[in-house]
Structures are given as C-alpha cells and as structure tokens.
Chains A and B, each alone.
Chain A
Amino acid sequence: GAGVSQSPRYKVAKRGQDVALRCDPISGHVSLFWYQQALGQGPEFLTYFQNEAQLDKSGLPSDRFFAERPEGSVSTLKIQRTQQEDSAVYLCASSLNRDLYGYTFGSGTRLTVV
C-alpha cells in the first residue's frame, strides 16, 4: 500500500487480557519501528527491526511486551496481561533509508485498558 497500515485502530482490553497489534509497513522498507505515545507526550521508542532481525528492544518497558517480524514485512506487537499504564497510542513506522527519507508513521493503534 501507499502508507504504513496499523490495525486495529482502536482496542479496548480488560486488565489482564493479552492484545496483539499489527503493522503493515510500506512495501520494500527494511527498517520497522514501534513507538509508544502517551496522551500529550511525544512518541517513545520501543523496538526496531531490520528485516526480520530485532536489532534493538531496549525500549520495551517489561517482559510483558514482545514484538516480532518473522518474514521481514508485517510486524506484531504483543502485550501480555495488560495493565492500565499500558494505555497509549502504539505507533509503527518504517523506513527505506532513514538518513535520506526519514520514517513514515502509521496512524497508530489506540489501546485503552479498563
């Protein structure tokens, strides 16, 4: 597609539920990023893939967060046993070459944990 696609757009989870958020990057983009954006804040880095390799996961807040990109295209961010503090917008971005083109962000998934 023309842009980065994320699904679902909105997700309401009961505390303790597991959720899976999907990202379809721009075709051919080798780099894929997940960011978390709390209300009124800037995005915060979670993890980075180059093709299928997860090169940096230093931003994942706990071992309840897990991301994968098994075939180097679509990525899934999974959050186990969701807690209220996980409520945020989860943004996915992809890049062909950051220094030349920067990132392209998707519209995000708004997760609300009740």
Chain B
Amino acid sequence: GENVEQHPSTLSVQEGDSAVIKCTYSDSASNYFPWYKQELGKGPQLIIDIRSNVGEKKDQRIAVTLNKTAKHFSLHITETQPEDSAVYFCAATAQGGSEKLVFGKGMKLTVNP
C-alpha cells in the first residue's frame, strides 16, 4: 500500500525566514496531495492541496510543488510568522482516485519572534 515519508520531523526558524517541508510517497497511482496544519488540541486544517496534473500551486505565502517522476512533493512557507507555528502533515491518496488519505508523521514548525 501507499507509504508517505515526511522530513524533517522538527524545524525551528526565525520570524521572516522561509520553511520547507518535504514528503515522498510510494504509490505512483496517487493523484491527490493535500497539506494540513494542526494546532494543539485541534483537528488538522487543510491549507493547500495539489493534484497530479499540476507541478506547482501557490496561495499567498504558501506554495506546494510536486515531482511525479521522483514521487516527492514539498511545502514552502515564506515570510514565516509566529502564528505559523504548528504541526504540518502531508498526505497522499492510497490509490489513484481513492477517498482515503495516507498521512506522513508530521513536522513540528516553531517560528521564533
């Protein structure tokens, strides 16, 4: 089945720096790749997603890139702010077109003021 690896597991940056989170997946049939932000005591919140027919997508300070050949995708956050501090999860569909997602183990981002 699908396996999603995420790294690094923790990242600490200064306010205003950029942060990059990288994920790899194993199933070449996967076609949907969302990113979630989870704050303490809350459920994961979708922040951006990308489908396999697109190489890059941007939304204000966040962007996601997808390399289908290498089976990896990355989240880029620019001009980080303290409120960006949270755990970030990448995910991929287990099978092409399937509803269920396989998540990475998460990355704890700390943005220091």
Contacts and interface: CB of A to CB of B under 8 A. Distances in A.
A98 B89 contact: no
Contact of B99 (A4, A33, A43): A33
A65 interface: no
Interface string A16-59: 00000000000000010100000011111100101000011001
A56 B99 contact: yes
B44 to A, nearest CB: 5
B61 interface: no
A55 B46 CA distance: 23
Query: Taking chain B's interface residues, is the majority helix, strand, or loop, or is none over half, making it mixed?
Result: strand
A69 B7 CA distance: 36
B106 A41 contact: yes
A108 B40 CA distance: 11
B104 A106 contact: no
Contacts, number: 56
A43 B91 CA distance: 10
Interface residues of A, number: 26
Contact of A42 (B43, B99, B103): B103
Contacts of B34: 102-103
A11 B101 CA distance: 26
Contacts of A106: 43
Contacts of A99: 32, 51
Q: Most chain-A CB neighbours within 10 Å: which of B43, B46, B91?
A: B43
Given A50-B99, A105-B36, 12 more contacts: A4-B43, A40-B105, A41-B105, A42-B6, A42-B104, A42-B105, A43-B44, A45-B101, A102-B49, A105-B43, A107-B41, A108-B43
